[in-house]
């Protein structure tokens, strides 16, 4: 060893390697075969990731592997994502895995994203294309496997909650070679068949490869051209496929799709029940008001009947009172008339005739003359005495 070089301890060298590795490989994706897999009581997974030329110790801690549905096994080809570290105690490099998937999923995911972007650009995912589900569907078409769990879930829900709905199953392969073509053809067949209100297209859960038929462009195009509203029900709640984005409605599971089909119907029935209850309450209120009014009228009629029974006595009393009032009024008028006649007689000029006076006029019944200026010799005059009249002639006039 050259004397000019600085000597490093093992710890120093491992620390330097650790710094270099962990600084430059904070996020890597590695594909390889699992070997020496172990899962001790700690819950962590330990295994070796290898290919034909090398191997790498790997660990997936319990906090991360709890999210993995299927435990890895020796010989399985996988794709691991995580970071590279150096375990200083043994001076070994290892891969700390955050996510693990079966081999080939990276390419499938890339294909998924590419098709998703293409169809989105064409507007196949646009919200304005989405059609509402029918309010009360009478016939439902189903595109799925005739033997899978999905059809059993669908039938259980629909027959329990809407037994009167007609169901038409178009069985298809839901995975493997040719599955996508069968699914697309089934959608077209049911559209040609006609008479269906909604289609449910889907299957139960599985890996990305298992669900891949529903990520095929041929299926997406068939859903997009369907004249019948389509519910996509593929996999579990966390699974998303291209079919989900193109369909008019996405259901997280086949059972949920069945629930959605009858949801509007049940909501309407519930609303009708609510309206019936409100109507009954309103009718009861009106009947109560009418009953109160009838009771009030009955009371008034009873009072009127009692008053009517007492009416003859009241009439007799009124007649007596009217007679007394009329006699009193006639006496009053007679007294007033007598007094007025007396005053009028006192002012009458006829009373003067009884004292020897006469009334002279040109004609009988005319006004009496008061001045000789109205006379000339030879005029005929009528003289009215207290008793009788006489005609005379003017011989001479003095002023």
Per-domain residue ranges for the chain? 10-103, 133-265, 352-393
* Cβ-based neighbour number of residue 238 at 10 Å: 9
* Cβ-based neighbour number of residue 214 at 10 Å: 29
Rounded Cα distance, 130 and 231, in Å: 11
Asked if 384 and 358 count as a contact pair (C-beta separation under 8 A), the reply is: yes
pLDDT in tens, 263-275: 756 566 666 777 7
User: Which DSSP string corresponds to 325-336?
Assistant: HHHHHHHHHHHH
pLDDT of 139 reads: 93
pLDDT of 22 reads: 82
- CATH no. for 133-265: 3.40.50.960
Please give the model's pTM, rounded to 2 decimal places.
Answer: 0.49
Asked if 172 and 143 count as a contact pair (C-beta separation under 8 A), the reply is: yes
pLDDT of 338 reads: 78
Which residue ranges of the chain lie beneath pLDDT 50? Answer: 1
Label residue 194 left, alpha or beta by phi (over 0 means left) and psi (-120 to 50 means alpha): left
The SS3 of residue 345 is helix
- CA-based Rg of the chain, rounded to a whole angstrom? 61
198-203 β-sheet, strand order: 166-171, 139-144, 198-203, 230-234, 249-250
Asked if 48 and 9 count as a contact pair (C-beta separation under 8 A), the reply is: no
Rounded Cα distance, 209 and 104, in Å: 9
Asked if 234 and 202 count as a contact pair (C-beta separation under 8 A), the reply is: yes
Label residue 327 left, alpha or beta by phi (over 0 means left) and psi (-120 to 50 means alpha): alpha
Asked if 29 and 81 count as a contact pair (C-beta separation under 8 A), the reply is: yes
pLDDT in tens, 291-340: 788 878 877 777 776 666 767 777 777 888 888 888 888 888 888 887 87
Q: In this structure, which topology does domain 10-103 adopt according to CATH?
A: OB fold (Dihydrolipoamide Acetyltransferase, E2P) (2.40.50)
Q: How many residues does the chain have?
A: 399
pLDDT of 184 reads: 96
Rounded Cα distance, 381 and 361, in Å: 6
Rounded Cα distance, 274 and 281, in Å: 11
Helices and strands of the chain, counted as H and E runs: 10, 13
**Burial of 244 from C-beta contacts in 10 A (0-12 / 13-18 / 19+):** buried
Kindly give the residue spans of alpha helices, DSSP state H, lying in the chain. 10-24, 62-65, 105-121, 149-161, 179-193, 217-225, 242-246, 254-309, 311-347, 350-353
């Amino acid at each position: 060893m050259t004397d000019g070089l600085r000597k490093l301890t093992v710890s120093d060298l491992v620390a330097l390697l650790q710094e270099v590795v962990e600084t430059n490989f904070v996020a890597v994706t590695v594909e390889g075969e699992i070997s020496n897999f172990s899962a001790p009581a700690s819950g962590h997974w330990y295994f070796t990731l290898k290919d034909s030329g090398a191997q790498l110790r790997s660990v997936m801690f319990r906090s991360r592997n709890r999210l993995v549905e299927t435990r890895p096994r020796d010989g399985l080809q996988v794709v691991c994502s995580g970071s590279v570290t150096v375990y200083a105690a043994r001076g070994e490099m290892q891969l700390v895995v955050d996510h693990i998937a079966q081999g080939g999923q990276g390419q499938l995911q890339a294909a998924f994203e590419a098709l998703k972007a293409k169809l989105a650009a064409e507007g196949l995912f646009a919200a304005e294309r989405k059609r509402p589900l029918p309010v009360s569907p009478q016939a439902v078409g189903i595109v799925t496997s005739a033997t899978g769990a999905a059809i059993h879930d669908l039938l259980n829900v629909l027959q329990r909650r809407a037994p009167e709905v007609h169901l038409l199953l178009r069985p298809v392969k839901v995975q493997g070679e040719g599955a996508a073509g069968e699914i697309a053809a089934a959608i077209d067949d049911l559209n040609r068949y006609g008479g269906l209100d909604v289609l449910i297209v889907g299957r139960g859960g599985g890996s990305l490869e298992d669900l891949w038929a529903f990520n095929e462009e041929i299926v997406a195009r068939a859903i997009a051209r369907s004249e019948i509203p389509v519910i996509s029900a593929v996999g579990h709640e966390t699974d998303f496929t291209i079919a989900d984005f193109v369909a008019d409605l996405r259901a997280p599971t086949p059972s949920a799709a069945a629930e959605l089909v009858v949801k509007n119907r049940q909501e309407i029935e519930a609303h009708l029940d609510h309206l019936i209850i409100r109507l009954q309450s309103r009718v009861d209120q009106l009947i109560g008001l009418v009953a109160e009014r009838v009771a009030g009228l009955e009371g008034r009629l009873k009072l009127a009947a009692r008053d009517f029974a007492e009416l003859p006595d009241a009439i007799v009393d009124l007649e007596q009172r009217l007679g007394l009032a009329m006699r009193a009024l006639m006496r009053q008028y007679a007294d007033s008339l007598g007094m007025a006649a007396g005053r009028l007689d006192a002012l009458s000029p006829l009373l003067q005739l009884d004292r020897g006076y006469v009334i002279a006029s040109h004609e009988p019944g005319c006004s009496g003359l008061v001045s000789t200026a109205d006379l000339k010799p030879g005029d005929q005059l009528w003289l009215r005495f207290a008793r009788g009249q006489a005609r005379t002639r003017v011989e001479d006039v003095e002023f």
